[in-house]
Amino acid sequence: MRFSFTEEQLVLRDTVTAVLADWCTPGDLHELYANDAPDAGRSHPRWNALFNLGITALHIPEVDGGLGLDDRELIAISEAAGRVALPEPLSETAGVVVPILVASGAGHHALEPFLDGGGAATLGGVTFTPSGPRIASVADGHRVRTSGITQATASHHLLAVSSASGPELHLAVTADGDLTRTTSLDRTRRLGTLTWTPTDATRLATGPLAATLLDQAVNRAALYSAAELLGLCDAMITLTAVYVSERKQFGVPVGSFQAVKHHLAGARVKLEFARPAVYAAAWSLATEHPSATHDISLAKSLASDAADEAARVSLQCHGAIGYTFEHDLHLLMKRAWALSAAWGDARSHRARLLNLLQAERSVLPS
């Protein structure tokens, strides 16, 4: 039992944090709200700066040219990406798509873009339900329409399901399909719908393997959303703590009032206790522990609730200035709202936890 990061893991996280500080400022996000070119993300220097750190190859074995690391490293990096509301699919690429490619047995060709091709990838066409993934791709003639894709316009590749003849997992090239933007409250999520053509070249897995990988992909998406929520939570609470320490009313900083303190302390406590659950779930996933599914639902339910609370009290403690479009808070808050609901909200994950515990009790003697 040693429940902490290693020095190397912390150094890696801090390296990424430093790059993010340079390349993903609130000003950059405001700019993206104001002026987001449809394919800006795919060639953005910010993505290149992150790619050059090798994060997308983190899960690829060393023998294949990757870093040979796992979720124990990536979870802290993803938390750091959440802290700045990164508008590129770092977690999706490194935490979801690449590990699924590796697990699918895809060859070097499929991994190539993530080793040195600047590849960014995301997941779509599937949603979380307490009883398992629900396929949300729709057949459109011989093509497939996949909606609800996050960071769609910033991604070169899409891990998607076609269910024409049983679930099949594909890695589609977004540029080969027709991508349309879906507008949403958090414009930096860059949601989209891709209409694409499944071919032998895009197919990764069929049958039971496809079902297993799909399950893993959704679990991974839930875990990495939870990690980003931790970062968002921390960023919102920190931003608000600084604001209420400076903002004066009645001649004193409003942060000296107990009502304000208690709002923020409550949010901080929720974050404090969500964090170990997220790290533990990363450990379970990396070590293929039998409790991984349980641990991921635990992590996502706690992180979603913590982020909802942090967003709520941060807005309240900022007063009217936090309600403005020009303030930084909404950049974080809108992402937190979206990720809190994405890949299973808190209640859906608690429902899955109950399903798991019920199944466990029905096979074990009491």
Q: Point out which residues bind other proteins (CB under 8 A).
A: 1-6, 9, 72, 130, 237, 241, 244-245, 252-253, 255-258, 260-262, 264-266, 268-269, 272-277, 279-280, 282-284, 289, 298, 301-302, 347, 350-351, 353-355, 357-358, 361, 366
Residue placing its CB nearer to other proteins in the complex, 29 or 76: 76
Minimum gap (Å) between residue 321 Cβ and other proteins? 18
Minimum gap (Å) between residue 111 Cβ and other proteins? 26
Minimum gap (Å) between residue 27 Cβ and other proteins? 25
Q: Is 106 helix (H, G, I), strand (E, B) or coil?
A: coil
Measured at the CA of 146, the angle between CA 102 and CA 215, to 5 degrees, comes to 40
Residue placing its CB nearer to other proteins in the complex, 108 or 347: 347
Exposure string of 292-317, with b = 16+ CB inside 10 Å and e = fewer, is bbbbbbbbbbbbbbbbbbbbbbbbeb
Please give the full DSSP string across 204-263, using - where no structure is assigned. Answer: EEEHHHHHHHHHHHHHHHHHHHHHHHHHHHHHHHHHHHHHHHH-EETTEEGGGSHHHHHH
The interaxial angle of helices 329-341 and 207-246, nearest 10 deg, is 150
Residue placing its CB nearer to other proteins in the complex, 121 or 280: 280
Residue placing its CB nearer to other proteins in the complex, 171 or 264: 264
Minimum gap (Å) between residue 336 Cβ and other proteins? 18
Minimum gap (Å) between residue 357 Cβ and other proteins? 5
Residue placing its CB nearer to other proteins in the complex, 244 or 315: 244
Residue placing its CB nearer to other proteins in the complex, 170 or 270: 270
Measured at the CA of 153, the angle between CA 151 and CA 155, to 5 degrees, comes to 70
Residue placing its CB nearer to other proteins in the complex, 71 or 88: 71
User: 67: alpha, beta or left, given left = phi > 0 and alpha = psi -120 to 50?
Assistant: alpha
- The DSSP bridge partners found for residue 166 are 164
Minimum gap (Å) between residue 238 Cβ and other proteins? 8
Minimum gap (Å) between residue 283 Cβ and other proteins? 5
Do the strands 178-181 and 192-196 form a parallel or antiparallel pair, or are they unpaired?
antiparallel
Minimum gap (Å) between residue 332 Cβ and other proteins? 16
Alpha carbon distance 220, 310 (integer Å): 23
First to last CA, the chain: 28
Residue placing its CB nearer to other proteins in the complex, 7 or 200: 7
CA 333, distance to chain mean position in Å, is 15
Contact 192, 179 (CB under 8 A): yes
Alpha carbon distance 120, 96 (integer Å): 11
